[in-house]
Amino acid sequence: MYSYSQFDKDFVQTRVDQFRAQVERRIDGSLTEEEFRPLRLMNGLYLQLHAYMLRVAIPYGTLNSAKMRQLAMIADKFDKGYGHFTTRQNIQYNWPKLNEVPDILQALADVEMHAIQTSGNCVRNVTADHFAGAAADEIEDPRPTAELLRQWSTDHPEFAFLGRKFKIAITGSPNDRAVTKAHDIGLRMVRNDAGEPGFEVIVGGGLGRTPMIGKVLREFLPREDLLPYVESILQVYNILGRRDNKYKARIKITVHENGIERIRELVEERFVLQRAAFGEFNHALFNDIEAAFAPPPYISASTDAFDAAKSSDPAFRSFVDTNLSAHKNDEYAIVSISIKKQGDTPGDATSEQMRVMADLAEKFGHDELRISHEQNVILPHVHKSHLHEVYKTLQAVGLGTANIGLISDIIACPGMDYCALATARSIPVAQEIATRFDELKLEHEIGALKIKISGCINACGHHHVGHIGILGLDRAGVENYQITLGGDGTETAAIGERAGPGFSADELLPAIERLIYGYLEIRADEHETFLQTYQRLGAEPFKAALYPETKIAAE
């Protein structure tokens, strides 16, 4: 775990003190809302439908038990006893009071956390593969590079007022769990012919109003060149990007309008100057960062008890089948804790649950936790001999749901239950779908399926890359839901295709049921996933299942 340097501490503390004074001046009337708004947004404080919302950064999704316990304390003392984990590996509090926000920020600073750059047209919290440092398929842990990017981007004066927000994601694995192709910049670690690790640089991806899959700007970039190269991209975007139209201001539009070749030319031109300006790569600094992410002191012990529990406890076996992933150490496993119990709000954890997860991390997980962009919590390093006890402890507080990657493991943005930008609700839709398929006991039979729901076109719920995407809209004053099919957020990223006319809130669940029953009928066998069937047969049979009346009319 990276620990703050004195510089980091001083910087974060200064920002807390500044914001405390700004809040005081807002409350005593010296600042108008117009003057205060950009200041509060720089500190992650939004005003939503029913209350303020504070978005706290969890850099590259990594935290330890002390941080998680502090998040739980904040939920109890300043909020309503829970927090919401987001698709950008952040946590959001939905009910803070303005006059208490400086105290919350102080409590965060006390454990080396903050809410800086979680809003505004700046470089946002850098996200990373949530299995980083543990995954069996990983080339190298990408988090030292993510931390380097954090240090570089924090309060970078040239990029504090970009044309629009800017999101960077990074993965060290060929299997992309960080959705790098849907970010302004995606960094995928690859090896060159000499076997050295570097990055494939992807630019111009993004979802929202105009979804785009990112394009490869550089096939191989040595790590030593990363900061000058990324800075060159930002400089080109800062000058070339549009400021006349908010909806055309993201770098995806800049890339689309100018062409990837032109962008590459400009970036490479800039890069020559930037590399000279940056000078020698600071190996000592990077080695220090790398040391902070060194693998934990793994233990070695018999895993017989794990095998025995798997045979004797069927519920545990089900958990093992869905919620564990391969660790680079054979005796270990990566545990995904589902924050998606059927019927509950996706991504919401109570303070008690946070404390239990913190305790488990401390006792059995080398004190490490991760937040995934899929709104789940990860224990990245658990020895197999401890898994049964971890499972039973989770089960006791409603965290033992065995549904990772299944139909009820739904990404859902807060939607119009909280968000001021939303055009429809998403949480109740997720709750209904998850509850229904749990009742039907079909989840495991359906197998791997990603449903992603957004409550507006901004696509925080990543609906474009859901195997089934659901977009909530306002159609003439009524909530209406559009379905997209065949999206993919991995290394084979694809934007889902719109299936047809939208459905009312009442029609949506039956439509999803028809779609799933349709899939179960046409799949080649039980191993062919929804996405594979879609890729094999195309949209038509799925559309026929969704719109049976159209089929009859056509006949």
Partner 1 sequence: MARPFKPKVLTANRLIEGDVVYYAANGEWVSAHENAMFIEDEAEANDLLAQANAQSYLLVGPYLADAVLERGKPVPTHFREAFRTRGPSNYDHGKQAEA
Return residues touching partner 1 (CB under 8 A): 26-29, 32-33, 47-52, 80, 94-95, 97-99, 345, 348, 416-418, 425, 427-428, 431, 474, 477-479
Cβ nearer to partner 1, comparing 213 with 416 = 416
| Cα–Cα distance, 153 to 138 (Å, whole number) | 25
Smallest gap from Cβ 31 to partner 1, in A, equals 9
Inter-residue contact 229 to 271 (CB < 8 Å): yes
Owner of token pair 């996405």: 531
Helix (H, G, I), strand (E, B) or coil at 381: strand
Least Cα distance to 448 among 532, 341, 518, 390 occurs for 532
- Beta-strand (E) ranges in 192-339? 197-203, 215-222, 324-326, 332-337
Q: How far is CA 107 from CA 3, 8, 16, 147, 195, in A?
A: 16, 15, 10, 22, 44
Inter-residue contact 67 to 1 (CB < 8 Å): no
Q: How far is CA 74 from CA 45, 70, 102, in A?
A: 15, 6, 12
| 539: its two tokens | 């949209």
Inter-residue contact 213 to 205 (CB < 8 Å): yes
Cβ nearer to partner 1, comparing 173 with 338 = 338
| Cα–Cα distance, 261 to 266 (Å, whole number) | 9
Cβ nearer to partner 1, comparing 51 with 326 = 51
| Cα–Cα distance, 240 to 237 (Å, whole number) | 5
Cβ nearer to partner 1, comparing 2 with 418 = 418
Smallest gap from Cβ 46 to partner 1, in A, equals 10
Type of residue at 195: G
Cβ nearer to partner 1, comparing 361 with 427 = 427
- Letter string b/e over residues 304-338, b meaning 16 or more CB atoms within 10 A of that residue's CB: eebeebbeeeeebeebbebbbbebbbeebbbbbbb
Smallest gap from Cβ 241 to partner 1, in A, equals 28
Smallest gap from Cβ 418 to partner 1, in A, equals 6
Cβ nearer to partner 1, comparing 34 with 280 = 34
Smallest gap from Cβ 53 to partner 1, in A, equals 9
Inter-residue contact 344 to 304 (CB < 8 Å): no
Read off φ and ψ for residue 431, nearest 5 degrees: -60, -45
Smallest gap from Cβ 273 to partner 1, in A, equals 44
Smallest gap from Cβ 434 to partner 1, in A, equals 12
Q: What one-character-per-residue DSSP string does 124-165 give?
A: -PPEE-TTTTTBTT-SS-SHHHHHHHHHHHTT-GGGSS-SS-
| 51: its two tokens | 């209350």
Cβ nearer to partner 1, comparing 284 with 476 = 476
Smallest gap from Cβ 37 to partner 1, in A, equals 9
Smallest gap from Cβ 306 to partner 1, in A, equals 36
Q: What one-character-per-residue DSSP string does 435-475 give?
A: HHHHHTT-HHHH-S--EEEESSTT-TT-GGGSSEEEEEEEE
| 95: its two tokens | 């009910």
Cβ nearer to partner 1, comparing 103 with 491 = 103
Q: What is the 3-state composition of the chain as percent helix, strand, coil, each rounded to the nearest 5?
A: 45, 20, 35
| Cα–Cα distance, 461 to 373 (Å, whole number) | 10
Cβ nearer to partner 1, comparing 51 with 448 = 51
Cβ nearer to partner 1, comparing 23 with 202 = 23
Smallest gap from Cβ 400 to partner 1, in A, equals 21
Cβ nearer to partner 1, comparing 341 with 363 = 341
Cβ nearer to partner 1, comparing 343 with 405 = 343
Cβ nearer to partner 1, comparing 79 with 176 = 79
Strand pairing category for 468-475 and 478-485: antiparallel
| 187: its two tokens | 């960094």
Smallest gap from Cβ 362 to partner 1, in A, equals 29
Smallest gap from Cβ 399 to partner 1, in A, equals 18
Smallest gap from Cβ 488 to partner 1, in A, equals 29
Smallest gap from Cβ 97 to partner 1, in A, equals 6
Cβ nearer to partner 1, comparing 94 with 180 = 94
Inter-residue contact 83 to 91 (CB < 8 Å): yes
| 425: its two tokens | 């609700």
Owner of token pair 């952040």: 90
505 sits in which H/E element: helix 505-522
